[in-house]
């Protein structure tokens, strides 16, 4: 059991590191090219993992083709284009705190679409977390929401949130008939294929020889550690200890991103970032806290 917890903690560290690796890659690699290379690398390792676990290429039914394609377009194509565009403009730690609101919006839209129950405590958590995100987005000046425009970097990262929420809600129904590894594999493949053409027009095939060793290390980290190991360890944790307990480890992602950003990129630790972090993580905890058993 200790090994499971160590893997989940490692997953959170790897996912936090994706923001730093993404910011490194985004400085020299264009967004479509970076996203394509990330998932081309990930797809190779996911294919090997699926072949090792299942002994063959996992089967997919005709009725699953459209949902898998939509997963690729939202969780791979759109999310990663917004991800790299945003990280070219804003700090890794700031981006991580904004994206930490994913569970909040998933809970909110699950209630609206799937009629999942929202308790007063969860509503309170949603409000607290959104307040924290706004504090981070506006860099401590909430009046900027009405007195001036929010930066493009923050808006691109909000696009990540919208893409991931859509991906998660679509995957909710698909996972009833497909294993997590298979769905991630085919979503990765479809997303990478759709990214290939924009990457071509962006100049990937003439630009890649000029990428630095740091660029390739960052892209490999994103593809292997951030995508393959991160997702496999996460779903192994869900299988062993359940989604609720495994999901708690996601709260470490923005913390590790902030620490890595400070250590590796010399990103400042501001008061608004610290306050926003506390509010977002508190809100995520309240929103995903298990309901007390009847009579307790």
Identify the burial level of 144 via C-beta atoms within 10 angstroms of its C-beta, where 0-12 means exposed, 13-18 middle and 19 or more buried. Answer: middle
Instruction: Give the residues of the chain that fall short of pLDDT 70.
Output: 114, 116, 137, 139, 141-150, 172-176, 238-239, 241-248, 288-296
Residue 30: name the closest of 92, 89, 84 by CA: 84
Does residue 83 contact residue 262 with C-beta atoms inside 8 Å?
no
Q: Which residues have CB under 8 Å from 160's CB, separation 6+?
A: 79, 82, 83, 86, 95, 98, 99
Q: Could you give the CA distance from residue 148 to residue 158 in angstroms, rounded to a whole number?
A: 17
Does residue 80 contact residue 262 with C-beta atoms inside 8 Å?
no
pLDDT digits (tens, 9 = 90+) for 84-123: 999 998 888 888 888 877 777 777 777 777 676 777 887 8
The dihedral region occupied by 140, where left means phi > 0, alpha psi between -120 and 50, and beta the remainder, is left
Residue identified by tokens 């058993």 is: 293
Q: Could you give the CA distance from residue 214 to residue 206 in angstroms, rounded to a whole number?
A: 18
- The token pair at 61 is 């039914």
Q: Could you give the CA distance from residue 159 to residue 255 in angstroms, rounded to a whole number?
A: 21
Q: Could you give the CA distance from residue 252 to residue 96 in angstroms, rounded to a whole number?
A: 10
Q: Could you give the CA distance from residue 75 to residue 167 in angstroms, rounded to a whole number?
A: 5
User: H or E segment at 9?
Assistant: helix 2-26
Angle at 78 between CA 276 and CA 147, to 5 degrees: 45
Q: What is the pLDDT of residue 45?
A: 92
Q: What is the pLDDT of residue 296?
A: 44
């Amino acid at each position: 059991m200790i090994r499971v917890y160590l893997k989940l903690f490692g997953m959170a560290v790897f996912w936090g590191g994706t923001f730093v690796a993404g910011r490194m890659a985004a400085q020299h690699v264009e967004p479509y090219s970076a996203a394509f290379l990330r998932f081309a690398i990930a797809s190779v390792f996911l294919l090997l993992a699926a072949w090792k676990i299942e002994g063959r290429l996992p089967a997919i039914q005709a009725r699953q083709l459209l949902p898998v394609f939509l997963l690729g377009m939202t969780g791979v194509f759109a999310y990663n284009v917004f991800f790299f565009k945003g990280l070219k403009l804003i700090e890794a730690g700031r981006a991580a705190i904004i994206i930490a609101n994913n569970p909040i919006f998933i809970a909110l839209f699950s209630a609206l679409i799937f009629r999942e129950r929202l308790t007063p405590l969860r509503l309170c958590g949603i409000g607290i977390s959104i307040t924290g995100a706004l504090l981070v987005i506006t860099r401590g000046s909430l009046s900027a929401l009405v007195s001036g425009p929010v930066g493009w970097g923050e808006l691109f990262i909000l696009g990540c949130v919208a893409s991931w929420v859509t991906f998660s809600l679509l995957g909710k129904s698909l996972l009833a008939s497909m294993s997590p590894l298979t769905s991630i594999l085919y979503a990765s493949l479809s997303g990478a294929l759709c990214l290939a053409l924009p990457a071509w027009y962006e100049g990937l095939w003439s630009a890649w020889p000029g990428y630095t060793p740091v660029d390739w290390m960052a892209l490999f980290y994103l593809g292997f550690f951030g995508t393959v190991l991160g997702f496999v360890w996460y779903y192994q944790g869900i299988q062993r200890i359940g989604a609720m307990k495994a999901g708690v480890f996601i709260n470490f992602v923005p913390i590790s991103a902030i620490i890595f950003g400070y250590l590796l990129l010399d990103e400042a630790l501001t008061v608004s970032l610290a306050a926003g972090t506390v509010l977002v993580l508190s809100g995520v905890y309240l929103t995903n806290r298990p309901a007390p058993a009847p009579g307790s």
